[in-house]
Amino acid sequence: MRRTGPVRALLAAAAAAAVSAGLVVTGGGTAQAAAPAPRTTLPAHVVAPYYETYSGGSPAALAAASHNAYLTLAFLQTPEAGSCTATWNGDPTTPVSKSVYGKDISALQARGGDAIPSFGGYAADSTGTDIADSCTDVKSIAAVYESLFATYGVSRIDLDVEVDALSDTAGIDRRNKAIALVDSWARRTHRSVQFSYTLPTTTTGLGATGLAVLQNAVKNHARVDVVNIMAFDYYDGAAHEMATDAETAAAGLHDQLTALYPAEPSSRLWSRIGVTLMPGIDDFGAAETFTTADAATVEHWAAAKRINTLSFWALQRDNGTCPGTAGAGACSGVAQTDWYFSHTFERFAPADHGWTQGRSSSAGLPATPRTPQHATRM
């Protein structure tokens, strides 16, 4: 997903005015392993669009303006390859600290929502600065993840793995080993924590490298609660009906998860799936346009399938100021009203939405024992 410039002034002014049971990728390294009991303080159905933290502004203010209770904050990465310190956007001046995004995250939580900090993304994954690719010490990687949970009181961390990171087998192995360590830490400290994997997809499911990430998680007893596919930027030269392709991609993922976990019922596997879209014209161009009608179609489908997470890249694009523009950072490229995609996806989980329902406390809950890949600009 693409790094962009500042949010347009109109949205900034508007802002100023204003998961579920866990998929277990665990157990003895065999496909027969069944999932342990669920753990979560997030709703069973979550709408959590990505927010480009490198664009500046206040995530909480833009969330309020768009009526989003949950945001995925992108991204965390190391300042340079080889480092074991993760900072927001790899900027040493924005560390993991309550002084950086702490007030925004607390504001989301006070409204009944939450933030999902995301590691990786295109820039980090193509420069070796995702924490698991950069740092060779598994315990240090785990400590970074733990610091996010402890510092901000969040319930889920997102791990965005794409481009070069998908072929860094050592980094994949370290990442999953670190997840397992954090799970043990959560049990010891009586925390409820979740991990989601965000992965590129084909129109029929994960490619071989994406699937290998989950297979390695099984090998390392790493618990993954949500598998979130990026259903855009296919870069296959074909014309796409984006709503249909999102649905077939998710169905393909469901079949892959069925093969990995044959003991799990279909409904439970669907409840561990997330889908991320890109509103309007994506980076490839007009052949990959997620329309306003597509948004309504996907929302209806997601509710029927009872998937876990609906998301899009990114909240700063949710306006119609640049019709015909592909892959723009601060607008969708299609005619739309401001916040159309947010308001349409909001219907996915009205009973769980942070504007009407309080946030569950995570305190004291016991934790239980793109062929190539496409060039997404997340």
Structure tokens at 205: 């499911």
Domain boundaries, the chain: 9-352
Question: How confident is the model over 180-219, as pLDDT tens digits?
Answer: 999 999 999 999 999 999 999 999 999 999 999 999 999 9
- Which secondary structure element, helix H or strand E, spans residue 273, and what is its range? strand 273-277
The two tokens of residue 75 are 């991204």
What is the pLDDT confidence band of residue 1, given thresholds at 50, 70 and 90? low
CATH (residue range 9-352): 3.20.20.80
- Per the prediction, the chain carries an average pLDDT of 86
Q: Which residue has the tokens 């939450």?
A: 114
* Phi, psi values for residue 368, rounded to 5°: -105, 140
End-to-end CA distance of the chain: 2
Rounded Cα distance, 375 and 224, in Å: 24
Percent of the chain with pLDDT over 70: 82
**Which string of DSSP letters, residue by residue, matches 203-266?**
TTB--HHHHHHHHHHHHTT----EEEEE-S---SS----HHHHHHHHHHHHHHHHHHH-TTS-H
Tell me, what's the pLDDT at 132? 98
pLDDT digit string (tens) for 44-60? 999 999 999 999 999 99
Q: What is the pLDDT of residue 41?
A: 79
| Mean pLDDT for the stretch of residues 96-123 | 97
For the record, the structure tokens of 220 come out as 């390392």
| Whole-structure pTM value | 0.87
Residue 154 has pLDDT above 50, yes or no: yes
Tokens, residue 176: 């999953």
Q: Tell me the percentage of the chain whose pLDDT exceeds 90.
A: 80
What three-state secondary structure class fits 167? helix
- Write the CB contacts of 212 (distance below 8 Å, at least 6 apart in sequence): 169, 172
- pLDDT confidence tier of residue 377, bands split at 50, 70 and 90: low
Per-residue pLDDT at 351: 52
What is the residue-wise DSSP string for 302-316? HHHHT-SEEEES-GG
Cβ-based neighbours of 287, under 8 Å, separated by 6 or more: 238, 239, 240
Residue 69 has a pLDDT of: 96
d(CA 246, CA 371): 18
